[in-house]
Amino acid sequence: MKAGVIIDWLKEEYGLGRGHAMAMVHVIKKGPKISTKHVGSDGTHRDATDTLWLDGKATRPV
């Protein structure tokens, strides 16, 4: 299935923006592991680990 179809569905059903929807598409298609190129960087899409956190902001490890 193409990403655009999933993004449209997530936007319509759950009100997700494009960035969050793209993260979900990644999880649906490839699982929660991400490229290490953003790990430890100071860019917009930075993250402390190579695994997308799926349980919500309130439960994210510090």
Q: How do residues 28-58 score in pLDDT, each as one tens digit?
A: 888 888 878 767 777 776 677 888 777 777 7
Q: How far apart are the first and last CA of the chain?
A: 35
Better pLDDT: 40 or 16: 16
Query: 43-47 contacts: CB < 8 A, separation 24 or more?
Result: none
Say yes or no: 4 and 23 in one domain. yes
Sorting pLDDT into bands at 50, 70 and 90, what band is 62?
low
Range(s) of the domain holding residue 23: 1-31
Say yes or no: 27 and 3 in one domain. yes
At which residue do the structure tokens 């990403």 appear?
3
Domain count, the chain: 2
Which tokens belong to 8? 């449209």
Say yes or no: 6 and 21 in one domain. yes
Better pLDDT: 37 or 23: 23
Say yes or no: 27 and 44 in one domain. no
Do residues 40 and 48 lie in contact, with contact meaning Cβ atoms separated by under 8 Å?
yes
% residues pLDDT > 70 (the chain)? 89
